[in-house]
Amino acid sequence: MLIHPWDAGSPEESLAFVRDNQFGTLIASGRDRAVPVVVPTQFLLVDDATVVLHLARPNPVWPAIEENPKVVLSVTGPWTYIKGEWRAEPGTDPRLGVPTTYYSAVQLVCTAEIVKDDEGKLEVLRRQIADLEPTLGDPALMPRLMSGIRGLRLTIDEIRGKFKYDGHKDEEHRERVQNAVTKAKSMLS
């Protein structure tokens, strides 16, 4: 992903975004594959260096991870299309404004460890359940569930954060665009 200096998120900002948006796309390239395996998934950012998740045993991602444990977890968040007329410089024909899209995106480059043993899978499930639905019962009481899944521990090796919101433009420009977006949204309500 292209990240301009004005769009770059710090590791702290990027991890905060990931923590607030714990659904993403796991990408495993494997080795000598024409197409990587791409899996949408819920996950849990355990700490600044670790992500856990679980997937069904028949998921096609497992062989790719076994071939090459380097994976990318891609997380994108709110986006909005910004019309060219909204970005046109003052005194310029609005039809000559350059449209763009504002968005947030973080890619975590990770080393994956497949968790196959029941105790390890329980640890992953308990962490995820405690975060999402703490009143749910103990997954240890669901043996059928345990045989149908594998866990995954991702160690974060690199954080690539991009927050594209015209950060290289002056405050007046960004305010003008924000006012146009707000006005357009209020007209839709």
CATH number for position 58: 2.30.110.10
Residue % of the chain over a pLDDT of 90: 69
Mean pLDDT of the chain: 92
pLDDT band at residue 9, thresholds of 50, 70 and 90? very high
pLDDT band at residue 180, thresholds of 50, 70 and 90? confident
Residue 89 has a pLDDT of 85
Q: Does residue 2 belong to any structural domain of this protein?
A: no
pLDDT band at residue 171, thresholds of 50, 70 and 90? confident
Residue 169 has pLDDT above 90, yes or no: no
Which string of b and e fits 113-142 if b means at least 16 CB within 10 Å? eebeeeebbbbbbebbbeeeeeeeeebeee
Q: Does residue 3 belong to any structural domain of this protein?
A: no
Residue 182 has pLDDT above 80, yes or no: no
pLDDT band at residue 21, thresholds of 50, 70 and 90? very high
Q: Does residue 63 belong to any structural domain of this protein?
A: yes
* Interacting residues of 173 by C-beta distance below 8 A, sequence separation 6+: 87, 89, 166
Q: Does residue 85 belong to any structural domain of this protein?
A: yes
Residue 120 has a pLDDT of 96
Q: Does residue 23 belong to any structural domain of this protein?
A: yes
Domain that holds residue 15: 8-188
Query: What's the CA gap between 152 and 133, in Å, rounded?
Result: 19
Q: Does residue 173 belong to any structural domain of this protein?
A: yes
- Tokens for 14, please give them: 């990027």
pLDDT band at residue 8, thresholds of 50, 70 and 90? very high
**Residues comprising the chain, all counted:** 189
Q: Does residue 124 belong to any structural domain of this protein?
A: yes
- Answer for the pair 128, 54: CB distance below 8 angstroms, yes or no: yes
- Answer for the pair 24, 43: CB distance below 8 angstroms, yes or no: yes
Count: domains in the chain: 1
∠79-82-87 over CA atoms, to 5°?
140
Q: Does residue 159 belong to any structural domain of this protein?
A: yes
Q: Please tell me whether the overall predicted TM-score, pTM, comes out greater than 0.85 for this model.
A: yes
